[in-house]
Amino acid sequence: MSAPTLHNLIEHHAVEAYDHLVGHFPEFCGCETCRLDVLVYALNRLPPKYVIGREGTVVTDVNLDKDQSRAAIDVAILEGIRKVNLAPRCERRRVRG
């Protein structure tokens, strides 16, 4: 039997939101550095939702599927894309000059 593990479900939902929204910004780099910078930006502004095990995941997922929760995650991701696009830390920054 494996030990229970701790999960922040907001992280999972933030990754889904990023994957869904980033395609609307063709000028955004989207490399792994920029992707992670957006996720870090968003996750640092969203309240975590930690769970242990399947039962907690199901209950919390139901609450996170509400439009208000999804909207807050989407807004944080969109703000992150905008901020990172203005000042990327990746190779693109060196090319821009």
Q: What is the pTM of this model?
A: 0.82
Whether the predicted pLDDT of 84 surpasses 70 = yes
Query: What is the average pLDDT value for the chain, to the nearest integer?
Result: 86
Task: Over range 32-46, report the average pLDDT.
Answer: 98
% the chain with pLDDT above 90: 60
What is the pLDDT confidence band of residue 1, given thresholds at 50, 70 and 90?
low
Q: How far apart are CA 62 and CA 26, in angstroms?
A: 32
Task: Over range 82-95, report the average pLDDT.
Answer: 85
